[in-house]
Copies of this chain bind each other. A is one copy, B any other.
Amino acid sequence: MGKPAVILLSGGLDSATALAIAGRDGFDLYAMSFRYGQRHAHELECAKKLADAVNVKRHIIVDINLATFGHSALTDQSIEVPRNRAVADMSGDIPVTYVPARNTIFLSFALAWAETLGSTDIFIGVNALDYSGYPDCRPEYIAAFTQMANLATRAGVEGKQKLTIHTPLIQLTKAQIIRRGLELKVDYALTSTCYDPDETGAACGQCDACQLRLKGFAENNLKDPAPYRS
């Protein structure tokens, strides 16, 4: 039996890869997903399949309603998901798909679960290179969360082993992430990246997330195995 680790698993390409890396590193896998008011539940179906595929010890889906707060194209139907933006334009301003404090909320729940599991390891598939527009994907944010977390819990007070937040993808390009995942046999056909898939789960191919993903596969001279609508 390995050490337990909590892995934030959205069902997307990045978190599927982070899950595979945690498995390769010998951790017992505890995967955590969120039903948070996102536009579509398709990514949660993907998360379930991905968790099954690697035999996690447990997969939980936590219900929280971030749509209460709105202010993001991912949780507010009245804000449109941007389409066909050039990849070069994506790294400036914070995009409308940013969900306020989402990673902070997700990591807080992961921290709670880790504490009850006696785990000191959390994996999150954040990426600062290909999507620098999100404030809560930056290395300095992760470092600050770790410092806070080590003061927040029993382990922190009792001077036990410190928490590590593993961000194995943070400095990789999308193409590098895909290469890493394929070495670890991640089935990317099971992952969902699109901000606005149709009811069958087929991706749009035009939102920022689809474009970055397609570029990553193209740079590896590969065809993305996930379904796209034509």
CA separation between A150 and B62, bound complex, in Å? 26
Q: Interface digits, A49-75 against B, CB 8 Å rule (1 contact, 0 not)?
A: 000000000001011111011110000
Given known pairs A63-B63, A138-B151, A145-B148, the reply for A108 and B101 (CB within 8 Å) is yes
Given known pairs A62-B65, A62-B68, A112-B69, the reply for A101 and B153 (CB within 8 Å) is yes
> A66: which B residues are within 8 A, CB to CB?
112
Across the interface, A104 reaches (CB within 8 A) one of B71, B113, B152, B154, namely: B152
Contact in complex: B62, A116 (CB < 8 Å): no
Contact in complex: A100, B153 (CB < 8 Å): yes
> A147: which B residues are within 8 A, CB to CB?
144, 147-148
> A86: which B residues are within 8 A, CB to CB?
none
Contact in complex: B116, A70 (CB < 8 Å): yes
Q: Interface digits, A113-139 against B, CB 8 Å rule (1 contact, 0 not)?
A: 101100000000000000000011010
How many copies the complex holds: the figure is: 2
Q: Is A111 an interface residue (CB 8 A)?
A: yes
> A157: which B residues are within 8 A, CB to CB?
94, 135
**How many residues of chain A get a CB closer than 8 Å to chain B's CBs?**
42
> A149: which B residues are within 8 A, CB to CB?
101, 104
Q: Is A109 an interface residue (CB 8 A)?
A: yes
Q: Interface digits, A151-176 against B, CB 8 Å rule (1 contact, 0 not)?
A: 11110111000000000000000000
Contact in complex: A113, B152 (CB < 8 Å): no
CA separation between A144 and B156, bound complex, in Å? 13
Contact in complex: B112, A105 (CB < 8 Å): yes
> A111: which B residues are within 8 A, CB to CB?
100-101, 104
> A156: which B residues are within 8 A, CB to CB?
135
Using a CB–CB cutoff of 8 Å, the interface residues on chain A facing chain B are: 60, 62-66, 68-71, 94, 98, 100-105, 108-109, 111-113, 115-116, 135-136, 138, 140-141, 144-145, 147-149, 151-154, 156-158
CB-defined A-B contacts under 8 Å, sample of 26 = A66-B112, A69-B113, A69-B115, A94-B154, A94-B157, A100-B111, A100-B115, A100-B153, A101-B108, A101-B111, A101-B112, A101-B153, A102-B112, A104-B111, A104-B112, A104-B149, A105-B108, A105-B109, A136-B153, A138-B151, A140-B151, A141-B148, A144-B147, A144-B152, A147-B147, A147-B148
